[in-house]
Amino acid sequence: MSALPAAADIKRALENSPETNIEDEQPDEQPEAYPKSYLVLSILSCFCPAYPVNIVAFVFAVMASKSYSNGDIEGSKRLGRNALWVAIASIIIGLVMIGIYCVVHFTTDAI
């Protein structure tokens, strides 16, 4: 009859086996950060008087959020970048229009 190994030897063998050593493993993929959709900026640009342009910025921002939820990270980044630039253009156009309105309003003589 053969003698069984000591309990400490079995425990040591199990501790060193790769199946039980799970804390040493690192996850292969790290989750990517959520790309910015600039939804808040596009909503704020809707208060500027450049209505066709700021609505396009809002649509781009919503599409960026939707494409991220569908798993298209690159498409979401591209649409978010488009939303940023269109929102900035909308704010600039709106400020120019407000400035032109103020100049015309305050420089013309009212009868």
Q: What is the pLDDT of residues 26-79, one digit of tens each?
A: 555 656 677 888 999 999 999 999 889 999 999 999 999 999 999 999 999 999
Q: How far is CA 85 from CA 38, 80, 92, 106, 110, in A?
A: 10, 9, 11, 32, 39
Q: What angle do the packed helices 73-107 and 51-69 form, to 10 degrees?
A: 160
The closest of 44, 75, 76 to 58, measured between CA atoms, is: 44
Contact 23, 71 (CB under 8 A): no
Asked if the model's pLDDT at residue 3 lies above 90, the reply is no
Say which amino acid occupies 13.
A
pTM above 0.85? Answer: no
Distances (CA, A) of 82 to 11, 39, 59, 73: 59, 11, 10, 14
User: Quick one: tokens of 67?
Assistant: 């494409």
